[in-house]
Amino acid sequence: MESIVFLDRSALRAELRKPQFEHHWQEYPDTSPEQVVERLKDATIAITDRVPLEEAQLIQLPKLRLIAVAATGVDGIDVTACSRLGIAVCNVRNWSVSVPEHVFALILSLRRNLTGYHELVMGGAWQRSNNYTLMLEPMPQSLSGGTLGIIGYGGLGKSVARLAEAFGMKVLVAEHKNAASFREGRTPFSEVLAHSDVLVLLCPLTDNNRRMIGAAELAAMPRHALLINCARGGLVDESALAKALQEGTIAGAGLDVLSREPPVDGSPLLLIHQQNLIITPHMAWVSEQSMQTLAEQLISNVEAFVSGAPRNLVP
């Protein structure tokens, strides 16, 4: 009989159906690193969203056969150690309809300066105006006719591209940074930086792309450009971005992620308070529809593994 342990059930606010095979199920609202080994000592399948699993813990879990990640990102899992220990890792993919929507919520909020105009009205400036309208500088730029660059062209990237095209934007898909050859339909990384009015990050975080957007990359972007990151905070040098926003190197940034979450030790980006920066607390993926889709795919992944036809395996 399979023994399944969900380490942080509170992270998934959706109904979970029972897997269609004989099993024992144990779930915890959350799990600290010190509790991982004790709770997984008899488990054959572990489910985790945000609880990291490292080699020092994994080598103490000889019964563990599968780690089913209730998310797309697996940067909290020591995948190399899993491979060596014969533990399969799977994730959920192409499940969130809300991330592309959130990307454009950030883009439109920044391009239309919704925060600035809201503060203007609430401060009474419109009420005191002699005209029917008020305008702030700089004047908003339309998305139509602009160029949107995408770094990370998986399911989410493709969905964002379709929305961009619906707004009348040209889409550039970036090739890997410093790539020696170029795939069909991809544009060199440097050209995407130089020509994007909006640059969207939707790629996984790896050792090779950590802080891939730094001072040099920000300086290579047009001064009117926006940077949108709904992937992982570690993709961006936060100090460099804070400086770029303060100095006007780029026009604005919309972030749903930071390099440390929660940002208990702060962040350079949390120290600046200006209308060209919007930060949301890693919730772009959240919607009732997205969460239920994730829940169904998670259980289907576990069932596929037990049936001998595993899917969504992480190499």
Model confidence at 76, in pLDDT bands (50, 70, 90)? very high
Per residue in 269-283, pLDDT tens?
999 999 999 999 999
**Bridge partner residues of 199 (DSSP):** 149, 227
pLDDT of residue 138: 85
Mean pLDDT in residue range 159-186 = 95
Q: Out of 247, 261, 288, 311, which one is annotated catalytic?
A: 261
Average pLDDT for residues 200-204, to the nearest whole number? 95
Is 50 one of the catalytic residues?
no
Q: Which candidate in 111, 175, 232, 238 is catalytic?
A: 232
pLDDT beyond 90 at 224: yes
Asked if residue 90 has pLDDT above 90, the reply is yes
In what helix (H) or strand (E) does residue 226 lie, and over which residues does it extend?
strand 226-229
- Judge whether 261 counts as a catalytic residue: yes
Residue range 198-223: mean pLDDT, rounded: 96
CA distance 214 to 240: 6
- Position 170 scores a pLDDT of 98
Give the rounded percent of residues in the chain with a pLDDT score beyond 90.
92
> What's the whole-number mean pLDDT along residues 128-134?
92
Residue whose entry in the numeric block shows the structure tokens 């005191």: 128
* Structural domains of the chain ordered from first start: 2-95+289-306 (3.40.50.720), 98-279 (3.40.50.720)
Calculate what percentage of the chain has a pLDDT beyond 70: 100
Q: Is the pLDDT of residue 140 over 90?
A: no
Question: Residue 139: is its pLDDT beyond 90?
Answer: no
Cβ atoms within 10 A of the Cβ of 247, count? 10
Check 282, 288, 303, 311 and give the catalytic one. Answer: 282
Reduced to 3 states, what is the DSSP secondary structure of residue 197? Answer: coil
pLDDT of residue 94: 86
Q: Does pLDDT of 34 surpass 90? A: yes
Whole-number Å distance between alpha carbons of 68 and 12: 13
Specify whether 288 is catalytic.
no
Rounded to the nearest integer, the mean pLDDT of the chain is 96
Q: Does the pLDDT of residue 180 top 90, yes or no?
A: no
d(CA 115, CA 113) in angstroms, rounded, equals 5
**Rounded Cα distance, 64 and 237, in Å:** 36
